[in-house]
Amino acid sequence: MPHATAPTVVSSIASQSDADAFRALNEEWISRLFTLQEEDRAVLGDPFGRIVDPGGDVLLAREPGSGTVVGCVALLAYPDAVLELAKMAVAPAAQGRGIGRQLIAAAIDRAQALGGARLFLGTNSRLAPAIHLYEEAGFVRISRDRCPVADYYARADILMELK
């Protein structure tokens, strides 16, 4: 049983240092497990312009006290009140403490606050712990023809939607 720690604080991206932490957390796992694609680089390099300004958000989990960013998740906005839960990452040293679960819950709440009528995500079968968290939060698998975004990431071999 993991030891109890103070919960992290989750808040919206607010500064360039937040943007840098978002990029670093995601580049680490994407580069380790997959290949960083041009679309990844574009979104990670400009989260304010590519995510926040179009109507989405980036949520960051911070350590209580220090404020160090240890996790993140993005909500990308699409037409017709569709939002994508994307770019979720937890620093390797902070994994196993429920931060991913906390980020997903915060993202679902934020998606509702942003007026989202549909929340989906794409993931990969190699990310079993993440898939488990998504299923616990109420996401169910959908077929590619139900994906609201054409030309979706090739590495996403599992698509899910919040029911």
Instruction: Give the CATH number of the domain where residue 61 resides.
Output: 3.40.630.30
pLDDT band at 5 (very low <50, low <70, confident <90, very high): low
127 in a domain, yes or no? Answer: yes
1 in a domain, yes or no? Answer: no
143 in a domain, yes or no? Answer: yes
All residues at 6 or more sequence positions from 76 whose CB lies less than 8 Å from its CB, including other chains:
43, 51, 54, 56, 83, 84, 86
Order across the sheet with 82-90: list the strands: 9-12, 57-62, 69-78, 82-90, 118-123, 158-162, 139-142
Q: How do strand 158-162 and strand 139-142 relate by DSSP bridges?
A: antiparallel
User: How is residue 102 written in tokens?
Assistant: 């906390």
pLDDT band at 1 (very low <50, low <70, confident <90, very high): very low
Domain count for the chain, please give it: 1
pLDDT at position 96 is 93
45 in a domain, yes or no? Answer: yes
106 in a domain, yes or no? Answer: yes
pTM of the model: 0.93
26 in a domain, yes or no? Answer: yes
28 in a domain, yes or no? Answer: yes
| Residue 117 burial (10 A CB sphere; 0-12, 13-18, 19+) | exposed
Question: Who wins on pLDDT, 65 or 14?
Answer: 14
Segments forming the whole domain that contains residue 142: 9-162
* Mean pLDDT value of segment 33-62: 96
Residue 3 has pLDDT above 60, yes or no: no
4 in a domain, yes or no? Answer: no
pLDDT at position 6 is 62
